Amino acid sequence: MTEAEITSSPHDERTAELLRLWLRLLGTTTAIERELAQRMRQRFGCSLARFDLMAQLAKSRDGLTMGELSRRLMVTNGNVTGLVRRLVEEGLVVRESDPDDRRLQRVRLTADGLALFGRMAVVHGRWVTELLGDLGPEERRALSALLARVKAAAMQGTDDRGTA
Amino acid sequence: MTEAEITSSPHDERTAELLRLWLRLLGTTTAIERELAQRMRQRFGCSLARFDLMAQLAKSRDGLTMGELSRRLMVTNGNVTGLVRRLVEEGLVVRESDPDDRRLQRVRLTADGLALFGRMAVVHGRWVTELLGDLGPEERRALSALLARVKAAAMQGTDDRGTA
DNA sequence: GGAGATTGCTTTACATCTAAACTACCTGCG
DNA sequence: CGCAGGTAGTTTAGATGTAAAGCAATCTCC
C-alpha cells in the first residue's frame, strides 16, 4: 500500500476534508501493516501473505480448495497458486486433488505448518495488542462502529461483494 | 494488502477483540484502496503508485530528488528507481542530475504529466467523496481523531518515524 | 591533500500481486 | 452419446514492493 496523495485542486472544502480523512485511514493502516510485516519477517521469516493463508487453513482443519482460499484471502487465483506452491516446497502445507472432482485441489496444513502457525499466531496477537492496545474500550467500540459504517457505505455502488 | 487472519488462540478476550478491530481496519482500508486502484486503472490506465508519485511532484513544481520521493512515498529507493524509469518512458516525468551534487537526480513532471495528473486528481477526489461521503461531519471528525490516536499509539515503540 | 565514512542512487534477486489467456474437468441438454 | 458452456486452476507477462549488495560522489577530519 502506498501513502501520500493530493491536496491540490481541493475544489470544495468537503472534498479536501474527505481526502485528508482517506489519507489518514490509509496511512494508519499501512503503518501498522508494515510494522507487523517487518516483525513477522524478522522473527519467523514469514510474510503476512503466508501467515494469512495459513490462518485460513488453520480454521478449516479438513482443508480448503484453491478457489476457496482465493475468495477468503480476496486475491486472484493465480496468486494463490504461487503462494501454495512455495508453502508446499517449504513443507508447511500439502495439496492433493479431490478424487470426486479432479478440478479441485484440496490444501491442508502439515503438522509442521500447524505448529509454526500456532507459534506465529500467539506472537502476532501480542503485537496487535501492543500496537492497538492504547485504545480504551469506549474508543475501540466507537472505531469499530465507524469502520463498519465506512465499509458498508463504500461497498454501495460497488459490485465487489467483499467478505463484508 | 491482504486480509484475513486468525481467530484461533484468542488467549484472552481483549486480544481477540483487538484482533477483530485490526482486521476490520485492514479490511475497510483494503476494500477502498482496491476500488480506487481498479477505477484508476480502468479510467486512466494508471496505478495508484504512479498517481501517488505524480501527486508528490505536483506539489513541488521545482522537482524532487529520488530520495525525497522515496521518503514521502514511504517506499524503498529501489522501488522509486523503477517507478520513475517507467514514468520517464511514458513521457510523464523527466529526470536530470543536479549540477551541484552529481549524486542527486531531480525529477519533475512534464507538461503531459501535469495535465494527466490534473485530470486524475479531480476524478480521484470525486471517487473518495463518493466512497466516504456517507459519513456525517460528526462521524468524520470522530473517525479522524480515533485514527490519529491509533497511529500515534502504534508508532510508540517503533523507530519507524513515519510521516506521522 | 587524502583516507575513510556517509550519502544518493542503482542493481539484483526475489516475493507478491493483477489481468488475461489457457487447460482440464464437469454438467446438462438435445 | 456428445458437445456447449460453466467451473477450477495454472500459466504468462508485467507492475510493484522489499532487502541487500554495489557504485559513485561528497563530506569529514586529520
Average the pLDDT over B113-134 and give the result: 94
Nucleotide nearest to B71 (CA to C1'): C8
Report the topology of domain B13-155.
Answer: Arc Repressor Mutant, subunit A (1.10.10)
Residue B156: the pLDDT is 73
Residue B157: the pLDDT is 62
B123 touching chain A per CB within 8 A: no
CB contact under 8 A, B125 and A15: yes
Domain ranges of chain B: 13-155
Residue B85 has which C-alpha cell?
Answer: 524509469
A7 touching chain B per CB within 8 A: yes
Residue A159 binned pLDDT confidence (cut-offs 50, 70, 90): low
Residue B45: the pLDDT is 95
A3 touching chain B per CB within 8 A: yes
Give B101→chain A minimum CA distance, Å. Answer: 27
Q: In what order do the strands lie in the sheet with B64-65?
A: B64-65, B105-109, B93-97
**CA–C1' gap, A101 and C26, in angstroms:** 8
For B21-66, write each residue's pLDDT tens digit: 999 999 999 999 999 999 999 999 999 999 999 999 999 989 999 9
Phi-psi region of B142 (alpha: psi -120 to 50; beta: other; left: phi over 0): alpha
Residue A8 binned pLDDT confidence (cut-offs 50, 70, 90): very low
**CA–C1' gap, B151 and C24, in angstroms:** 49
CB contact under 8 A, A22 and B128: yes
A123 touching chain B per CB within 8 A: no
For B129-145, write each residue's pLDDT tens digit: 999 988 999 999 999 99
Distance (Å, whole) CA B6 – CA A118: 10
When mean pLDDT is compared across A10-19, A88-97, A143-152, B42-51, the lowest value belongs to A10-19
CA atoms within 13 A on the CB side of A26: 23
CA atoms within 13 A on the CB side of A16: 7
Locate the chain A residue with the closest alpha carbon to B131. Answer: A154
**CA–C1' gap, B87 and C28, in angstroms:** 51
pLDDT at B163 over 50: no
Residue A61 binned pLDDT confidence (cut-offs 50, 70, 90): confident
